[in-house]
Structure 1
């Protein structure tokens, strides 16, 4: 039993490592961002379709309302990926990934606007901590600064990701998580198809190995492994472990891109990740209390 738990923990860490590669790959791939996202999506959608058929997951839509929710959530996932990759291109992997990782706090702040759930005032404190961390990342608010632009795009990406997750949460009781991911990235593939003619994709001959890694390892394999880990761990536990993604991303960027984080990045990132861990631990305790009350 202990060996099985250890093996599942290793698989979750491996999934986290795979997903963490998105930062370095997004920064390194020399192609227009919308083209990168389309290629990432089409590769991953084909693989996830095959996986869903192999696992015999239900792919038929139940209602027209579900189709609308899939389209809306797919559009938010697309804007999340696009703004995230622009954050990476404009600044660096550290700022892009750390700015994105405010999404757990953003989700907690805006969730009461979408779902009938009670707002907890502690989120205001955590939100202030996040803003302080972002300020340390880019202390001089100058829109001409690449770091400020990167941080702002990262925050925007976090907002889009939070909304996408809130919408997706309404569908997990009716659809398998992998099926939801398949539909969302398939919608991205359809919506972004025109960019192949509108933007320059001639560089694909030199970039396709990295695009394949992004589509296969980072997106299809990494996210599927992460979803599968939820069978063995709580969402809170998975969130805490996943919060090491920016750290792994920074290490990968240092090894392959020679990006060296500044002290501002180190201290600001510490504050941001601390808020993520605090919220994850609080959520875990809350879920345990709710389980006991039942």
Structure 2
């Protein structure tokens, strides 16, 4: 009798375990795809000859058009279920738009490295603030992981931040402000809008950003944009905006926000690599060492989150 009960218990747990593994697997696929595409943002910020507000407005418009065409092809309707959802999602769009403007401005007034690395104070903010949403106790391991990420980022910019005057200080200021906005948007979206699909979220947020920034669009500069600039804007809008942020939102539905944030710290590492390959910026030893720390934390988060949910069951 006991053997039969145990067998039934094991059989009933298998679909749950399988479902958890499927969610984790797809979650990691989404987050790593998003990280790869987002890491290209720094290059676009430098090669597109427009101000940060114009770039953000145009990338949002292109993303909305791209998602709209995708919706027509797949017969998807980007409807929000209530007026409360409408207000909330469009409010998140405002946060996302200001985050993009401050992020691009940070890289334009300083360097890609400073903008990218200062932005990645957001995992620390996510780790510290998420317990207010999840009502879970802040784990010691999460604090250690956050400190390690901060240490890695500090090592990567240690030589650049020796001079606290001029463009470096300005870049860090705008980058950390952007990080705060990004962490806030991610947590609110994860805990209050789980019932809205990822592409629907980005579609409506993209509309909010495009409308908000339309008065700040540099019309003259946009009108004389060369063909290369137009191509780069299309790539930025379709791949690094519509694609990347849809993947990112999908990963937040399947993984803890702190895990997504910490794995996202691969972005500055990849951005440094792309800068080296594309514009021949040779990374310094401190950048490589700090990047190795970040890679270790991201790998730990990936491996740990695959096993821990099943162990708890």
Tell me the TM-score range normalised by the shorter chain.
0.7 to 0.9
Q: Distance in 2 between matches of 1:170 and 1:254?
A: 38
Report if the CA contact (8 A) 2:61-2:210 is conserved.
yes
TM-score (norm 2): 0.75
Inter-partner Cα distance in structure 1 for 2:172 and 2:117: 8
TM-score normalised per structure 1? 0.79
- Using the TM superposition, name which of 151-160 and 23-32 deviates more: 151-160
Change (3 A) 1:258 1:102: same
Which secondary structure state, in structure 2, belongs to the residue aligned with residue 235 of structure 1?
coil
Provide the residue aligned with 1:138 in structure 2.
Answer: 158
Deviation at 1:173, TM superposition (A): 2.9
Contact 1:96/1:154 (8 A) holds in 2: yes
- For structure 1, the residue ranges without an aligned partner over 5 or more in a row are 1-5
CA gap 1:160/1:280 in 2 versus in 1, 3 angstroms: farther
Residue 252 (structure 1) aligned to one of 270, 274, 278: 274
Shift of 1:78: 1.1
RMSD of the TM alignment (CA)?
Answer: 3.5
Q: Which range is displaced more, 244-253 or 42-51?
A: 244-253
CA distance in 2, matches of 1:155, 1:285: 33
* SS of equivalent to 1:82: helix
Residue 226 of structure 1 and its aligned partner are, at CA, apart by 5.7
Q: Which has the larger radius of gyration?
A: 2
1:235 match: 255
Match of 2:233 among 187, 211, 220: 211
Structure 1 residues 92 and 211, CA gap change in structure 2 (3 angstroms):
same
Q: Mean Cα displacement is larger for which, 50-59 or 71-80?
A: 50-59
1:46 CA displacement: 1.0
Superposed CA offset, 1:78-123 (max 9, x none): 1221122123223333333333334333212111234433222444
Could you tell me how far apart the structure 2 residues matched to 1:130 and 1:9 are?
Answer: 19
Are 1:91 and 2:110 an aligned pair? yes
Q: Which residue of 2 aligns with 1:166?
A: 187
**1:113 corresponds to which residue?**
132
> For 1:21 and 1:244, how far apart are their aligned partners in 2?
12
Q: C-alpha displacement at 1:214, in angstroms? A: 0.8
> Cα distance, 1:40 vs. partner?
0.4
Match of 1:155 among 167, 171, 176: 176
Q: Does the CA contact (< 8 Å) of 2:78 and 2:203 recur in 1?
A: no
Q: Tell me whether 1:266 sits opposite 2:288 in the alignment.
A: yes
Aligned length: 284
Match of 2:18 in 1: none
The structure-2 alpha-carbon separation of the partners of 1:95 and 1:168, relative to structure 1 and needing over 3 Å to count, comes to same
Where does residue 3 of structure 1 map in the other structure? none
Kindly tell me: are residues 235 and 252 of structure 1, through their superposed partners in 2, closer, same or farther at Cα, counting changes over 3 Å?
Answer: same
Bigger shift: residues 153-162 or 14-23: 14-23
1:86/1:288 CA distance change after superposition, 3 Å = farther
**Aligned with 1:193 (options 214, 239, 246):** 214
Question: Relative to structure 1, is the Cα distance of residues 130 and 145 closer, same or farther in structure 2, using a 3 angstrom cutoff?
Answer: farther
On the 8 A contact 1:84/1:100 being kept in 2, the answer is yes
